[in-house]
Structure 1
Amino acid sequence: MPRITALALLVCAGLSPHAYAEIYRWTDANGAVHFSDEPPKHAEHRSLKLKETVTVPMRENVRQADNVHRSRKAVGRLLESDSTEDASASRAEEEVKTARCNNIQKRLDRIQAQLRAGYGSERGNRLRAQRRELSQQYSRQCVLG
């Protein structure tokens, strides 16, 4: 009896259609690319190899989302407790940064005015080098930082 069952299963497996059908790709005379599960009769074609799809169980995504949510809440609580103590220090740092950025901007404006006023070759190169250095400093400290 087990032999008959095993033989029946093998016959059924052999007769069942394949899960992955062959896919063909070809380009017609107008340059349009076509894809089909049947090869074209009068066109040169090639068979495509497809990668197997990856599936991830949804329960893992839900668990991970819950962990992220809990972590964000914990970080938010930590930041709220520190924010009152750091508010005055933060304002002082912001004022220093603003003063520094204003100073750099004034220096850049002065160099730009000197470049517009006219200059010799050597002096112009020196002014452009200063402008480039100050612009980079302004970008690092005031725009990005």
Structure 2
Amino acid sequence: MPRIMALSLLCVALATPAMAEIYRWTDANGAIHFSDTPPKQQRHASVTVQPPVIVPMSENIRQADKVHRSRAEVNRLLEPGSRDRYARARETEKLARQCEKYRKQLGRIQGQLRAGYGNDRGNRLRQKRRQVSQLYSRECMLN
């Protein structure tokens, strides 16, 4: 029984994390030193070490899987025998026309803002510019 008790106590002692103090001091030459034992003849300060940040990998793995599936879908669409390839080309042309429409609309709004305006009209124009710019960003730049 004493052996089991001693072994249990030893396991508990070894399982506790080592929490040594860390000391920092600057010597006469201006060099900064760190140690787990305080210097005897120097002024020193105790350093608090923050615990490490743990980032879960599950979200990164999900994103990698999503990218892999997207690439596989694009490759499938671009295969020579795929009918979807032509549908995708039509969608791309339609998106290009829509993006050009947004660019022209932004140019017109910007021209109106430069031409001068009253307070209420300027606020409406800026709001419209913000809306069109968000649509352009969402549909044309992020896709």
TM-score by length of 2: 0.57
Q: Report 1:71-86 matches (<5 A).
A: 80-84=75-79, 85=82, 86=84
In the other structure, the counterpart of 1:87 is: 85
Q: Report 1:63-142 matches (<5 A).
A: 80-84=75-79, 85=82, 86-142=84-140
Q: Which amino acid aligns with 1:41?
A: K
Q: Distance in 1 between matches of 2:118 and 2:47?
A: 69
Report the Cα offset of residue 23 of structure 1.
6.6
What is the DSSP-based 3-state SS (H/G/I as helix, E as strand, rest coil) of the residue aligned with 1:34? strand
* Cα distance change on mapping 1:125 and 1:92 into 2, 3 Å: same
Q: Which amino acid aligns with 1:121?
A: N
Which range is displaced more, 133-142 or 74-83? 74-83
Q: Which amino acid aligns with 1:98?
A: A
Q: Report 1:20-99 matches (<5 A).
A: 24-28=22-26, 32-36=31-35, 38-42=37-41, 43-46=43-46, 80-84=75-79, 85=82, 86-99=84-97
Q: Distance in 2 between matches of 1:92 and 1:115?
A: 35
* Cα distance change on mapping 1:23 and 1:139 into 2, 3 Å: same
What RMSD, in angstroms, separates the aligned Cα atoms of the two structures? 3.6
Report the Cα offset of residue 41 of structure 1.
1.4
Q: Distance in 2 between matches of 1:90 and 1:128?
A: 34
Q: Distance in 1 between matches of 2:113 and 2:70?
A: 50
Larger Rg: 1
> Which blocks of at least 5 consecutive residues in structure 2 are unaligned?
1-17, 52-63
Q: Distance in 1 between matches of 2:118 and 2:48?
A: 67
Task: Answer 1 or 2: which has greater helix percent.
Answer: 1
Residues 63-120 of structure 1: per-residue CA shift (max 9 Å, x gap): xxxxx9xxx7x99777644432132122111101000000011011011111111111
Q: How many residues align?
A: 107
In the other structure, the counterpart of 1:56 is: none
In the other structure, the counterpart of 1:14 is: none
What is the DSSP-based 3-state SS (H/G/I as helix, E as strand, rest coil) of the residue aligned with 1:27? strand
Identity in percent: 39
Q: Distance in 2 between matches of 1:141 and 1:77?
A: 22
